[in-house]
Amino acid sequence: MKKILIILLVFALIVIISVIAIDPLGFRSPLSPTGVPTIAPTDSIQSLRSSTTTPNFASEIIVDGLNNPWDIIMLPDESYIFSERANKLTHLANGVKTSIPTPDDTVVRGEGGLLGLAIDPEFSSNRFIYACFNSNLSGNTDVRVVRWKLSLSNDLLEDRRDIITGIPANESGRHSGCQLEFGPDNYLWVGTGDAAIGSTPQDPTSLGGKILRVDR
């Protein structure tokens, strides 16, 4: 009895190896009228290969000469505002750049400076934009998220409101990363850096190394 079981197991193993050798990628068509599976036609395999071809993209430089560009947002009129870490904010429309005055309390050092941007989901009615940056407004340097109202001329930030303060910042600026994004739930989501302190992300009392959800 044991000998018969061994023979059956060996036979089953041979069948499995044969199937893998014939059809290693699993491209099989439905059973033929005889009940024997057949190899998928070559055109099916070629179709799969063509569907994974890397798409072609055309690139165009619309602005250059920037100093550590960090983030970019599109306004409803399809113009842009982009940040440079060296505390520069620029409005770009039809190839024309207009500088927007930035906060005086921005600290540009190492990986710190003017960082992420976001546009309010209701921008068309409230004109709110958001930015995060290293700041010395409180005396010590922290990373904070601030909201402004953008002027109708797109060249001035008004009515500042500090949304989040006290995100830890390294004095050297290391790991100051701060990214802003509005989700489909209309909450503002904020990704923060760990200030180059490995234990910060696991510290529930710290805002560093976290993803924060903000009810604006």
Read off the amino acid at residue 76.
P
Lowest mean pLDDT segment, chosen from 29-33, 137-141, 168-172, 175-179:
29-33
Which range marks the domain in which residue 17 is found?
2-43
Domain shared by 140 and 95, yes or no: yes
Contact 176, 115 (CB under 8 A): yes
Domain shared by 9 and 105, yes or no: no
Segments of 15-152 assigned E as strands: 28-31, 37-39, 69-74, 80-84, 88-93, 96-100, 114-119, 128-135, 142-150
In a domain, 39, yes or no: yes
How far is the C-alpha of 5 from the C-alpha of 120, rounded, in Å? 70
Domain shared by 15 and 95, yes or no: no
| 17-49 pLDDT tens trace | 554 444 444 444 444 455 555 555 666 656 656
Which pTM was predicted?
A: 0.72
In a domain, 157, yes or no: yes
Contact 216, 188 (CB under 8 A): yes
CATH code for the domain of 154? 2.120.10.30
- Judged against a pLDDT cut of 70, whether residue 174 lies above it is answered with yes
How far is the C-alpha of 68 from the C-alpha of 83, rounded, in Å? 9
In a domain, 184, yes or no: yes
In a domain, 58, yes or no: no
Domain shared by 89 and 189, yes or no: yes
Local confidence band at 161 (pLDDT 50, 70, 90 cut-offs): very high
How far is the C-alpha of 37 from the C-alpha of 30, rounded, in Å? 6
In a domain, 190, yes or no: yes
The pLDDT value recorded for residue 177 is 84
